Structure 1
Amino acid sequence: MDLLPLRVSLVLLLWTLSAVASTFPFAVSYYSPKRPACRAIPSTMALCHDVGYTEMRLPNLLGHDTLKEAQQQASSWVPLVSKRCHKDTKRFLCSLFAPVCLVEFVEPLPPCRSLCEVVRDGCVPVMSAFGFPWPEMFNCSQFPPGNEMCIPGTTTGSKGMDDRLEEHAKMPRCDACRPFGDAEKEMQQNFCQHDFMVKLKVKESHINGGNRKVVPEGPSLVILKRLNRVEEEEINRKAFLLQKGATCTCGELLEPSTTLLALGRKAGNKLLLNRIMGWHTGDGELKRFLQGIRKLQC
């Protein structure tokens, strides 16, 4: 086996990693300051050709914010993939450099720990032949264990997760979360047709029957159509329901630490969310917006 090209590439790779380590020491970055976006995997990103999907998320799991940066760093790993030290090497690397873009997952899906471990165990002998260790930036212990929502290997038992990802990718977007034109204007115009507006951050969101249950992080701020302080206090610690939320996607409900505004209705003892938007501008603007809502005469 001709390893000379690999030797040269690994030398360049290790130099690159040491040079950029202080810029973005690897950790699965679920809370990037930049809004996530889907981008087509460019034809010039050779590492991730024919990886099974065509759109990637930025920022990626290595902290790259631009396609140019992701491509440059990914190119260093192409020679290792060509040595076929493990059949899932490309799958693992691309889950980090070019994570799959699914609309209902606001953050990139990380590789499963088991995927990292089998690739590491297969490729370490090739790298160590030249004195290169498995990079700390790929430390497998930081990835989720088990068959959670993560990218599995192609070994037995991974098909179920692949099917789940494919199923999620095909799910329609929930009506309550469909894109707005002028979001603030629409929320204001529709307030009087609903029973309440709520400001919240999501602690937990999970399927409940055919619906999706939304559990707030701490008390919510509730604004009723008609002033009733007692009822506002009763509502502000309750969970909400997105009807038929098990059959559609709503990335806003999966985005951690983001302020959401929602319009809803009461149905007996249930609180149903009908329109949801993320609030991404400042607290001052939000305060003024909510003050304007409170002044509406319904």
Structure 2
Amino acid sequence: MRAFIPTLTILWVITTPCTEAMHGLYNFGQHDLFYKKNNCKQIPTNLMLCHDIEYTEMRLPNLLGHETMNEVLQQASSWIPLVQKQCHPDTRKFLCSLFAPVCLDDLDEPIQPCRSLCESVRRGCAPLMYSFGFPWPEMFECDRFPQDNDLCIPPASAENVVPVTKEVPRVCDACKETEENDNEIVDNLCKNDFALKIKVKDIFYVNDDTKIVPEAKSKTIYMMNGVTELDLKRTVLWLRDGLRCICEEMNDINAAYLVMGQKINGRLVITSLKRWQKGQREFKRISRSIRKIQC
């Protein structure tokens, strides 16, 4: 399961839950899903993608074929980084029209996004997704959606465009830029339980946290008592509150990163994350500092 890392922000990266959601894709124009009784459900507060939009009740099954709220919550969280990236002001409206379609008791047919809404969001966001190696997913192909009419959701008019988010997301504490001299680098290492040079294999979202699985060839740079070889054999790293903050530093899933952190309640929690750039002065200093480290 790959995602945009919030460059997010990474993006915080969009992952392929985008592709996994396709298994239940509603075949627009046919109504097999809606032979089942459609229930109006209150949009839960933990559906962060859509919980404070203009309406409060959504349909299940939704337009992507998700039949339970757990399915919706799992799949929708992977798209929050794209909304945070603000590639188009209607990104959230478009995604919520599919993941949490508006539910009206007196209307049997689902209200779909208009084709023009899809095309507008695709023009704004597809290039960004391609830059991270992710094509515009088949489940969002715009010709699946109806031409503009009174019963589909249109794009916002130019006069009514509103910001995608109410406020600029805060930068994750672990991703804040810092200028450190050799002594400060050593001091930072000594405050942490491990330092690793990693490349990212997979990213998941668990509740509000980001779960990062490094590639198997990640290199241990520094390890204190409390962190064991077993911890690092199948390394899983956690960025706390990763769905509520951005990490511009981590904007390329193919890059190498230096991560430092602490073992907290059995988890390896990231406290510092930097892009590893071979030959860069800062990382030459880090390498020198690690060789002479004495905590």
| More helix per residue | 1
Could you say which structure has the larger radius of gyration?
A: 1
Q: Which has the higher strand share?
A: 2
- TM-score normalised to the size of structure 1? 0.48
Choose between structure 1 and 2 for higher RCO, CA contacts under 8 A separated by at least 6 residues: 2
Give the TM-score taking structure 2 as reference length. 0.48
